[in-house]
Amino acid sequence: MNNVLTIAFYSLRRSFWIILGWGIPLMLLGIITIPFYDLVAENEKQLRPVLNTLKPLLKSFIGGDEAEQVFTPEGFIALRYFAFLPVVMGIFGSVYGSGLLAGDEEKGILDFLMAHPISRAQMFWGRLVAFFISLTFIIGLGWLGLWLGVLKAESMIFSPLKLILPYISVFAVTWLFACLSLAFSMVMPSRSAAAMFSGIIVLAGYIITTLSKAIKGLEAWALFSPITYFQGNAMVGLELDLLMKLLIASSLFIFFARRGFGSRDIRVAGDGGWKIPLLDPR
């Protein structure tokens, strides 16, 4: 346990600039975006007819049938602020998760660290704990920005606690993609391949979930998209079953990643272990 904390603390220190680099823009996004609600509320009469004339496919990208909720404070936050956040944070999770172990492995740093009296399990959990805390800080900065934005908007009154509900869902989606990417990085030939595949799933999931609001045939496919389980409108009520589905899937990916890391070779650049077996010309 002691070593897990040592690893987590050191990894967290290394993540300092990542936390600021992602957390501050997320905070600014809230501060800048949310006060625009005052303008939307003022111009509701002019905007509502425009919204009604949009074709269903186009309308699906701004919330589908729920698009008209943009005129309510909760709806505005869900549609204008949280709608793209799972994609942005999903990409972040994919990049970070793939590099959690494979990044240092490719650089050859892990090889040196693992020569010390630490088990693979300790290294794995230490890094994962560090990511959990980093993500909490980033989400925390985002939530702070959202709250400051709400304070700045004249026609919005929400308690800080209520604002945290959609962010719990953002956390769960980001966590899921990070765990997925981590699991990929344990079986794929490189960190970048793992990040790329996970990133493709983020984008494909977003498109399928969005279009499924207009194209009925995609509804079944949308069940496999993690974005479908994201609750940008959690301020009106967080559905725990959706949250649990994301967390259960994440736990499965963690299980596979842990097994992968525990049973395979620690690779170093030029080691010869990076080739996909079927494509290995040797």
Least spacing, CB of residue 100 vs other proteins, in Å: 14
Buried residues in 207-232 as b, exposed as e (16+ CB within 10 A): ebbbbbbbeeebeebbeebbbbbbbb
For residues 54 and 109, which CB has a smaller minimum distance to other proteins in the complex?
109
Site for other proteins in 191-230 (CB under 8 A): none
Q: Which of the ranges 4-12, 70-78, 89-97, 253-261 carries the binding residues for other proteins, by CB under 8 A?
A: 4-12
How far apart CA 37 and CA 34 sit, in angstroms, is 6
Least spacing, CB of residue 148 vs other proteins, in Å: 31
For residues 49 and 272, which CB has a smaller minimum distance to other proteins in the complex?
272
How far apart CA 81 and CA 16 sit, in angstroms, is 25
C-alpha Rg value of the chain to the nearest Å: 21
Told to check if 1 binds other proteins by CB under 8 A, we report no
Site for other proteins in 90-129 (CB under 8 A): 107-109, 111-120
Which tokens in the block code for residue 282? 């040797």
Which tokens in the block code for residue 43? 């111009």
Handedness of CA 11, 203, 245, 144 (dihedral sign): positive
Which tokens in the block code for residue 34? 């949310």
For residues 123 and 179, which CB has a smaller minimum distance to other proteins in the complex?
123
Least spacing, CB of residue 93 vs other proteins, in Å: 22
Least spacing, CB of residue 133 vs other proteins, in Å: 17
Least spacing, CB of residue 259 vs other proteins, in Å: 14
Inter-CA distances, 87 with 14, 184, 242, Å: 25, 18, 18
Number of residues that bind other proteins (CB under 8 A): 31
Inter-CA distances, 195 with 25, 158, 174, 199, 222, Å: 22, 37, 13, 6, 21
Q: Which of the ranges 33-41, 232-240, 243-251, 268-276 carries the binding residues for other proteins, by CB under 8 A?
A: 268-276
For residues 237 and 272, which CB has a smaller minimum distance to other proteins in the complex?
272
Give the per-residue contact string, 7-46, with other proteins (x = CB under 8 A; - = no).
x--x---x--------------------------------
Told to check if 260 binds other proteins by CB under 8 A, we report no
Handedness of CA 253, 257, 260, 263 (dihedral sign): negative
Q: Which residues bind other proteins (CB under 8 A)?
A: 2-3, 6-7, 10, 14, 107-109, 111-120, 263-266, 268, 271-273, 275, 277, 280, 282
